[in-house]
Structure 1
Amino acid sequence: MTESRDSALAPASRITQPLVLANIPPSPGQGRIARAFLLALLVILLGTWPFAAIRLPEVDAFVPTLAAALFVSDCVTAALLFAQFSILRQWALLVIASGYLFSALIVIAHALTFPGAFTPTGVLGSGLQSAVWLYWFWHAGLPISIIGYALLKDTDRVADARVTRRAISLSVVGVFALVIGLFLFVTHFEHLLPILFVDVRPLSLFRRTIGGMVVLALGGIALWLLWPRQRSLLDQWLIVALCALLLEVALASVLSAGRYNLAWYAGRFYQLVTATVVMVVLLAEMTRLYASLARSNAMLQYERKRLQRAIDAQHRERDARLMTGDAVAATIAHEVKQPLAAMITRSETGLRWLDRAVPELHMARTEFMKIAADGHRAAAVIESIRANFRKDERVRASFDVDNLIEEAIALFEDDLKSHRILVKVERSARPLRVIGDRIQLQQVLLNLITNAIEAMITVDGPRELAVSSSLSDDGDVMISVADTGMGIAAQDLQRVFDPLFTTKSRGMGMGLSICRSIVQAHDGMLWVSPNAPRGSIFQFVLGAKTV
């Protein structure tokens, strides 16, 4: 087997080892529980000793049943200790795990050879001496493994992580081979063994106690080595298991003799304690560590979710800033495009008036004045956009809706004529006034009229723009812009108001989104519906102030 040879690094590595039963120091409360448990075992011994020779009924099924329970307990303990060895890679853990596996296997061999358990003299050629010698081998196994564990537990040499599985496999195979060898020896060569029992009764005091004295000596050596070295919870409960084994041997094999008496049955109780105490502590400590791990994992998941939410919030904030920047840029480009286009058109018209043989200064002056007005309107639009995104307090005033419509139509006069679009304006029977930001509401109307013109220039047939104002049933002012263009697909009727959604090849997808935001900021509503026979009707309502 390969071992790590850098012993200088081992103490540092132990600091980072995971907390398991083999390296957790016992708490004061756990120490008191262990001492109370030992005291209880000693009290049971003292209470049983005076009545040790009392005969009790022979129960043939008792030994196989007890053997099954001991086998399961020792196997579980061995598996848990092998798992601890695979984590910590300490050779001492491999030794003690192999000791418990040896106890698990040899208890089955002992039950098979026990007289009366399965056959009168045991199976596979067993004799009267087979079971008792397997009993001594069985009870010598744990003290010997604890001696090895005590001698190796404080060494800095650990197994290489690459060979832990191989080490466990070789240990399991070796233990199996040893138990099979011992079983075959005591069954096939039973005549070579010293005679200890005749007719299931001990032959003499010396022969019945010599094996027990050897086991007690081995247990004493193991206790002497482990006691000053006990530092972990595993050390503490190994001492308890060892003491239970020694008390059993003292009661059932040294202080008393024979089978099926009170001492013999009490000894089986100590066997259960020896087999189960370490297993129970291992399982309890694993449950505690698992619960602690589950709590830590839950806290980790909670903190991870909090961190993820914070990261997502940062991403959303960044995306919102980017989106807002894009929206501001797109809004400015969209809204300022109309005044700029008008300024370009009027400047070209003014230059044509000046380029005549006899310059028409009056007409040119009129165009240049309109250019100035468009410039002021562009500045007002930019200021309105700035106030909208900064949520500044807007300047609102009362104004006439019909005047707003006439001004908007006048700004598109040239475009309407060039595209041969017939304009119909329907006014309310009485003047309608609203309170709001005139520049922003004018931009809404200009956007709707622009969209109507662009929708009609690509279709053949009559082109008609109808703009009207009226008083709704709820007393609000309703403004309608209808066209006979190509219309909007049914699935897009609601999407047209989403930011960056457009059906135009060169559209930005911001116009209608801005219009709805402005109308909603004035506590109004904007919607679209199909026109008949074709086209669209955009309508919005505002709170009225009639005079």
Structure 2
Amino acid sequence: MERSAAGLQAHEFVLSNLSPSVGQRRFALCVVLVLLVVFVILAGPLSGLPLRRVDAFVPAYGTAIFVIDSITAALLFSQFSVLRSHALLALASGYFLTALIAIPWTLTFPGVLAPEGGLGGGLQSTVWLYVLSHVGFALFAIVYILLKDADPMEWLSPRSIRSRVLTTVGSVTAVVCCATVFVTTGHALLPRIMLDTAQVSSLWYYVVGPMAALFVGALVLLWLRHRSVLDLWLMLVLFAYIIEISLTAFPIPYRFSVGWYAGRVYGVLSGSFVLLILIKEVTMLYGELLRAVLAQRREREARLLTGDAVAATVAHEIKQPLSAMIVNASATLRWLDCATPNIDEAKAGLQLIVKDGHRAGAVIENIRTLFKRDARTRTSLDVNNLIREALALVRDDLQTHRVAVQTDYDQSLPPIEGNQVQLQQLLVNLITNAIDSMATEDGDRVISLRSKVYDSGSLMVSVEDVGRGVDPSAVDLIFTPQFTTKVHGMGMGLSICRSIIEAHRGRLWVTANLPRGAIFHFTLPTHREH
């Protein structure tokens, strides 16, 4: 069985607010263990083992960091434009900072454009850009953590949001440009923390040590305050950064050694974690949105087709008995208006009127058979998917009334054969009724939907609420047409639901949900029975 509880609100469907599942936590733990195992293997004497210099490695690494962090920043900026969260803006700025600094870091690296670096400053510029990039990201990550609980900027208009993003991008770009100019043209003013590619000054550990401590502090702080999937993977990013610093900065930062190459790989991984999960989340949400839009379109088309069918049936079928009733009534009046009323003919006319009245009543009753004589093709359906699609259709109502949803799906359910639109409408009606029953109730509002095997040839779905429930005296009446307990209800919803279920050879009934509420159950035959 799969069980999940979620208050279906719009902000809970994005990465920065979606709670991580048990599977995601376990996968993240496995990634941590792998990173640790590799670090233990590479740490120590093996870390300083020199390897052959690969000239293309540094440009490839710098390009990878720029592309990965730029895309991650763009995705985070887009989430900020929706959620208007200060924290997301700060984190996006951190990724944009590291993406931009990757450009001068690559250009100043000795041997890429010139033996001493293409922008001037040589070895010292490269090291200080490395420090600024890491310290900047750690500080932005801490700002993200501290602002996670801040109220979103709801007062900002879409135009103001775009202006805020552009201002942030411009500010970060200006900071990176100023820092690049300073460390390249004014490198002589900076303390020398590296003497050559194999020797460090006494200031080295006073610079790199606090930098590593900054990441450790950010990781601990995020661990204490993490709640979302984004928090979970950002912890992995910070952890990978700590390992990268350990491999490249301790004990001696030999360039083009095993530890140096491994540190660069960890640097790429640290940038990729959030990007991959963002892409996965965006793809998943796009799929959910597409399914919801298609479901709404199918529902709208079904309503239009049903309305056209009902209108055509009423216009065509009931017109004849009504016309006959008018003709017979007129004839009866003429027989009665005669000087000597012809009672026998008048009775015969009234009998014809009664007959045509029964015929009109039968036509109206036969409108219900539209659900039973559906000419559209029935297909094999997954009941669990039908429930998910129905929840997507009523998402706004759930959010408006602050209703949480609990689902309990039996993943081994066999398929059924039926009309997707009708069964979807059935679920929408039952869920909407459950929402209405709790709209005026105090306390928690929870709807529970469950699916399970009912017997060898059918399955059962239950819709449970904690609302005002159904009066015992009305249990047998609520499925009757025009019977309603709502002030503005028409009394057709549950009648239509029962018609749909009966057309699919199933059964619909209601039971009490103690201590309060009601549970609507319905069964459907499995596809094997057809």
Question: Normalised by the size of structure 2, how large is the TM-score?
Answer: 0.59
User: Do residues 310 (structure 1) and 337 (structure 2) align?
Assistant: no
Q: Which amino acid aligns with 1:297?
A: V
Q: Structure 1 residues 166 and 14, CA, compared in 2 at 3 Å: closer, same or farther? A: farther
Residue pairs, 1:231-246, within 5 angstroms: 231-246=227-242
Equivalent of 2:81, from 82, 86, 96? 86
Q: What's the counterpart of residue 170 of structure 1?
A: 167
Work out whether 1:125 is the aligned partner of 2:120: yes
1:48 aligns with 2:45: no
- Tell me the distance in 1 between the aligned counterparts of 2:175 and 2:26: 38
Q: Check whether the contact 1:195–1:203 (CA below 8 A) recurs between aligned residues.
A: no
1:103 aligns with 2:62: no
**1:158 corresponding residue in structure 2:** 153
Distance 1:53 1:310, change over 3 A: same
Q: Distance in 2 between matches of 1:64 and 1:159?
A: 42
Please tell me the residue identity of whatever aligns with 2:289: L
Residue 214 of structure 1: which of 210, 219, 241 is its match?
210
Contact 1:248 1:271 in 2 (8 A): yes
Residue 177 of structure 1: how far off its partner (Å): 0.4
After superposition, the C-alpha distances for 1:142-179 in whole angstroms (9 at most, x for unaligned) are: 11111101111122353533132222111101110011
**How many Å apart are 1:127 and its aligned residue?**
2.4
Offset at 1:133?
0.6
1:403-442 aligned within 5 A: none
Distance in 1 of aligned mates of 2:119 and 2:260: 25
Instruction: Map Cα deviations across residues 14-38 of structure 1 (whole Å, 9 max, x no partner).
Output: 9653510000011111111111111
Q: 1:145 aligns with which of 140, 143, 153?
A: 140
Rounded Cα–Cα distance in structure 1 between residues aligned with 2:74 and 2:210: 28
Which one of the candidate residues 163, 179, 191 is aligned to 2:188?
191
Is the Cα contact below 8 Å between 1:102 and 1:175 reproduced in 2? yes
Q: Give the whole-Å Cα distance in 2 for the aligned partners of 1:58 and 1:254.
A: 20
Q: Distance in 2 between matches of 1:315 and 1:118?
A: 78
Instruction: Indicate if the aligned counterparts of 1:212 and 1:250 stay in contact, CA closer than 8 A.
Output: no
- What percent of counterpart residues are identical? 36
CA contact (8 A) 2:324 2:356 kept: no
Correspondence for 1:224 = 220
Q: Cα distance, 1:330 vs. partner?
A: 8.8
Contact 1:196 1:203 in 2 (8 A): no
> What code does the residue aligned with 1:285 have?
E
Match of 1:72 among 67, 74, 79: 67
Rounded Cα–Cα distance in structure 1 between residues aligned with 2:30 and 2:292: 33
TM-fit CA distance, 1:141: 1.7
Deviation at 1:51, TM superposition (A): 0.7
Q: How far 1:322 sits from its partner (Å)?
A: 5.8
Measured in 1, the distance between the counterparts of 2:51 and 2:347 equals 112
Report 1:372-411 matches (<5 A): none
174, 177, 181: which one pairs with 1:180?
A: 177
Q: CA deviation at 1:387?
A: 7.4
For 1:269-348, list aligned pairs within 5 A. Answer: 269-320=265-316, 323-324=319-320, 327-328=323-324
**CA apart distance, 1:110:** 0.5
Equivalent-residue separation in structure 1 for 2:168 and 2:70 (angstroms): 14
Q: What displacement does 1:212 show?
A: 1.8
Q: What is the Cα-based RMSD across aligned positions, in Å?
A: 3.4
Using the TM superposition, give the Cα deviation of residue 232 of structure 1 relative to its aligned residue in structure 2, in angstroms: 0.5
Shift of 1:99: 0.3
Task: Give the deviation of 1:237 after TM superposition.
Answer: 0.6
**Residue pair 2:199, 2:252 contacting (<8 A) in 1 also:** no
Equivalent residue letter for 1:304: R
Kindly indicate whether structure 1 or structure 2 has the higher relative contact order, using CA contacts under 8 Å at least 6 residues apart: 2
Give the direction of change, closer, same or farther, for the CA distance of 1:155–1:376 in structure 2 (3 Å limit): closer
Alpha-carbon contact 1:202-1:208 (below 8 Å) kept: no
**Counterparts of 1:101 and 1:140, CA distance in 2:** 14
Q: What amino acid maps onto 1:66 in structure 2?
A: Y
Amino acid in structure 2 at the alignment position of 1:74 = D
Note the C-alpha offset of 1:380: 8.9
CA distance in 2, matches of 1:290, 1:237: 21
Structure 2 SS opposite 1:17: helix
Q: What SS class does the counterpart of residue 206 from structure 1 fall into?
A: coil
Aligned position for 1:60: 55
Shift of 1:311: 2.5
Partner of 2:11: 17
Kindly indicate whether the alpha-carbon contact (under 8 Å) linking 2:198 and 2:253 is maintained by their aligned counterparts in 1. yes
Equivalent position of 2:259 in the other structure = 263
Map 1:468-479 to 2 at 5 A: none
Alignment length (residue pairs): 350
For structure 2, list consecutive stretches of 5 or more residues without a partner in the other structure: 1-6, 361-530
Contact map agreement 1:133 1:186 (CA 8 A) in 2: yes
In 2: Cα distance, 1:221 partner to 1:15 partner: 33
Which SS does the other structure have where 1:128 is aligned? helix
Q: Give the deviation of 1:78 after TM superposition.
A: 0.6
CA distances 1:66-120 after superposition (whole Å, capped 9, x unpaired): 1111111101111111111111111011000100000111111111111111222
What SS does structure 2 have at the residue aligned with 1:258?
coil
Instruction: Answer yes or no: is the 8 Å Cα contact 2:112–2:118 preserved in 1.
Output: no
Shift of 1:276: 0.6
Compute the TM-score of the two structures, normalised by the length of structure 1: 0.57
Question: Aligned residue for 1:252?
Answer: 248
Q: Which residue of 2 aligns with 1:34?
A: 28
CA distance in 1, matches of 2:24, 2:8: 23
Shift of 1:56: 1.1
Relative to 1, partners in 2 of residues 1:145 and 1:329: Cα closer, same or farther, differing over 3 Å?
same
Write out per-residue CA displacement over residues 363-383 of structure 1, whole angstroms, 9 at most, x where no aligned residue.
xxxxxxxxx9xx999999998
Aligned partners of 1:123 and 1:189: how far apart in 2? 15
Q: Cα offset for 1:188?
A: 1.2
Q: Secondary structure at the match of 2:11?
A: coil
One-letter identity of the residue aligned with 2:114 = T
Cα gap change, 1:391 to 1:214, in 2 (>3 Å): closer
| C-alpha distance in 2 between matches for 1:254 and 1:286 | 38
2:55 counterpart SS class: coil
Equivalent position amino acid for 1:111 in 2: T
Distance 2:247 2:235 in 1: 18
**Structure 2 CA distance for partners of 1:44 and 1:231, relative to 1, 3 Å:** same
Matched letter for residue 29 of structure 2 = R
Q: Which residue identity is paired with 1:233? A: V
Counterpart code for 2:254? G
